[in-house]
Structure 1
Amino acid sequence: MTSRLLSCLRLKPGRRKSFHRRKFYRDLAEVGADSFPIVTIISACTGIILALQSAQQLEKVGAISYVANLVGVTIIRELGPLLTAIIVTGRSGAAFTAEIATMQISEEIDALEVMGIEPVRFLVVPKLIAMLIMVPCLTVWADFVGIFSGGLFSSAALGLNHVTYFNNTVEFLKLQDIFSGLVKSGGFAVAITMIGCWQGFLAREGAADVGRKTTNSVVISIFMIILLDLFFTALNFIFR
């Protein structure tokens, strides 16, 4: 499937766009808008939990003002991209697998080929582009919500000045931290799409296989996300 996908992504000069616009917009909405509420809620809870947990430890050494630094770095570098990718895996990655697996079993994939429509171009390319656009956007939003909620909690419950909190966050974070998180989110987006669609095309054994392939898709995607996170973190450590 990878070679077919790469060939579909090569747009020849003068050739019109190779994916269905309406399907692309639907995938954008499914990946982005439909995931927006749950990403917001989980990111807000994560920011508050980080602020609370770090405050309990930093208070023992009289360094509670460093709560802002810890929350900001942890969310931007790790938890923002990671949690967003896991949420998108459970929603969109599973939906991709179920859609393609159902089409495969009902022989709709074969019907597309008979009509001269390349299944990878029609089904996978719009999903991949939608993921590459929306997962980084959701990650940026998750970063903002996590830091903002952590700041509100620190101001209300820990007595930290909210202006000082956000100033410390801005001063401590580097452009490299934000770039690292966005690169991770892009890698996660590719992995989720490829694994989800690949598992969908593997469906063969009737309706029960749809559930099995969807489960496999989510498990493999989360495992690959963790491995990619380790890989990108190691690269960031080596070239820091």
Structure 2
Amino acid sequence: MLNDTIYYLYRLICKRIKWLFSNRSYINILEQIKIVGPDSVSIVIITACFIGMVFTIQIVKEFLYINTLSLIGSILTIAFIRELSPVLTSVIIVGRIASYFTSELATMSVTEQLNALYLLDTNPFIYLVIPRVIACILMLPCLNIFAFVTSLFSSSFICFTIYNIYPDVFFISSLSSLMIQDILKSLFKTFIFGLLISLISCFWGLKATGGAKGVGQSTTLSVVTCLLGVFIFDFLLSYIMFNKLESSIQNL
């Protein structure tokens, strides 16, 4: 009995690996990567630019009031890399990609296209869900880096044009506080967010029933659930990854 089970698992794993390296799977994954990554770059950059400028306007004047010019770049960098960039990028992906994934899969579900895949001996989870998960977990960290860099440059622009803080002063302060650990933790955050968003959106899409009304309900539930999941996991990950570091700084 045990040998049969091991042999079955071995055959199943080999079949999945073979699918991942087939031409059809490559095309499917690349299509989803294009949708999640390159097609979302412009909206991510525009959003990060304006959020960076608004956040800078709100923060810098308070630091100038207490005469702590050298801390402005450091504080903004920490805020962007730890929280604003990963969370805002994930929210954009939820609004643009999660709704798209859910509505697409929900339409396939209510029109019984999933049954056609079963007739073709194709597992809908492997064919439809896995490429979307791979695309999200690969592209969301990349979009996070784009958002972070854009936020820094937009903040430097506002600091120079409004508050006469030269870019060299800003970036010296910024680089002095930018640690590789923060970058890796920020990328890990977006990796988890990408996994969460893709799985939730695909789940609600495959679960849809009831025609056009069911598609709309599934899409709404998907977006709401993804947003709540991102915010909840953001708190948990921030507490786990940064609380120990902050406690050590306070002890010093």
TM-score range, shorter chain: over 0.9
Aligned partners of 1:169 and 1:10: how far apart in 2? 47
- Indicate if the aligned counterparts of 2:19 and 2:25 stay in contact, CA closer than 8 A: no
Query: Cα offset for 1:20?
Result: 2.0
Is contact 2:81-2:182 (8 Å) kept? yes
Match of 2:175 in 1: 170
Which residue, out of 15, 27, 38, partners 2:18? 15
The root-mean-square deviation of aligned C-alpha atoms, in Å, is 1.8
Other-structure match for 1:71: 76
Shift of 1:21: 2.0
Picking from 27, 42, 50, the partner of 1:45 is 50
CA contact (8 A) 2:80 2:151 kept: yes
188, 212, 215: which one aligns with 1:210: 215
1:14–1:98: structure 2 CA closer, same or farther, 3 Å change rule? closer
Distance 1:123 1:161 in 2: 50
For residues 147-158 of structure 1, what are the structure 2 equivalents within 5 Å?
Answer: 147-158=152-163
Q: Hey, what's the Cα distance between the residues in 1 that align with 2:95 and 2:196?
A: 13
- Distance in 2 separating the partners of 1:13 and 1:36: 31
Distance change (3 Å), C-alpha of 1:238 and 1:58: closer
Instruction: Tell me the equivalent position of 2:148.
Output: 143
| Identical aligned residues as a percent | 29
Query: 1:14-45: CA deviations, max 9, x gaps?
Result: 73526622221111111011111110011011
Could you say which residue in structure 2 is the equivalent of 1:3? Answer: none
Assess if the C-alpha contact under 8 Å between 2:72 and 2:173 holds in 1: no
Distance 1:55 1:179, change over 3 A: same
1:103 aligns with 2:130: no
Q: Return the index of the structure with the highest Cα Rg.
A: 2
Unaligned runs of 5+ in 1: 1-6
> Contact 1:135–1:185 (CA<8 Å) still a contact in 2?
yes
Residue in structure 2 matched with residue 61 of structure 1 by the alignment: 66
Aligned length: 233
Question: Does the aligned pair in 2 maintain the 1:11–1:17 contact within 8 Å?
Answer: no
Q: Deviations over 1:189-224 (max 9, x none)?
A: 001001000001111111111011001000000000
CA distance in 2, matches of 1:11, 1:239: 42
Q: Report the equivalent of 1:4.
A: none
1:54–1:70 contact (8 Å) kept in structure 2: no
Cα drift, residue 239 of structure 1: 3.4
Unaligned runs of 5+ in 2: 1-9, 246-252
Q: Which amino acid aligns with 2:18?
A: R
Deviation at 1:12, TM superposition (A): 5.8
Change (3 A) 1:155 1:134: same
Matched residue, 1:117: 122
Q: Tell me how far apart the structure 2 counterparts of residues 187 and 177 of structure 1 sit (CA, whole Å).
A: 15
